[in-house]
Structure 1
């Protein structure tokens, strides 16, 4: 099955438990349609570059999935209809990298950064 990565931004006035509950909810939607969540990360509340629906901040979540395209389309459709979800980005990837995403790594552990002069 194809591999996908999803980033979801939920409204800032949700609690952390409610935001993580959204991840579980959309994971069950994916499982009902023949897919599965390989890994999920809750990135927390972050400030956005511009306002979306009068919100300056949002709960960010990252999902790595292994699912057929029909299941991903259904999950995206339900995410876009859900009133708590502001934005969704889905990318098809060849493979999922091992370990945590760049957002979850500590600043000193990140590779490829140049030193300032």
Structure 2
């Protein structure tokens, strides 16, 4: 099955447990449609670069999924209809990266590559 990565932004006035229950809800939507939620990360409340629906902050979540295209389409449709979800980004990937995402790594652990002199 194809592999996907999703980033979801939920409203800032939700509690952390409500935001994590949203992740579980959309994971069950995937499993009901023949897919599975491989891994999820709750990134917490972060300040956005610009306002979305009069909100400056939002709960960010990252999902790694292994599901057929119709299951992904159904999950995205339900995310867009859900009143607590503000934005969704879905990307198809060839392989899931091992370990935590760049957001969850500590600043000194990130591989930034060599710096070039100016």
Give TM class, smaller chain.
over 0.9
Which residue does 1:112 correspond to in 2? Answer: 112
Which residue does 1:51 correspond to in 2? Answer: 51
Is 78-87 or 105-114 further displaced after alignment? 105-114
Which residue does 2:101 correspond to in 1? Answer: 101
For residues 44 and 113 of structure 1, what CA distance do their matches in structure 2 show?
Answer: 27
Gaps of 5+ in 2: none
Measured on the aligned residues, the alpha-carbon RMSD in Å equals 1.3
Residue 12 (structure 1) shift: 0.1
TM-score, L = length of structure 1: 0.97
SS at match of 1:111: coil
Gaps of 5+ in 1: none
Q: How many residues align?
A: 117
For residues 18 and 112 of structure 2, what CA distance do their matches in structure 1 show?
Answer: 35
TM-score, L = length of structure 2: 0.96
SS at match of 1:34: coil
SS at match of 1:112: coil
For residues 6 and 113 of structure 1, what CA distance do their matches in structure 2 show?
Answer: 26
- Aligned counterparts, 1:72-111, within 5 A: 72-111=72-111
Which residue does 1:7 correspond to in 2? Answer: 7
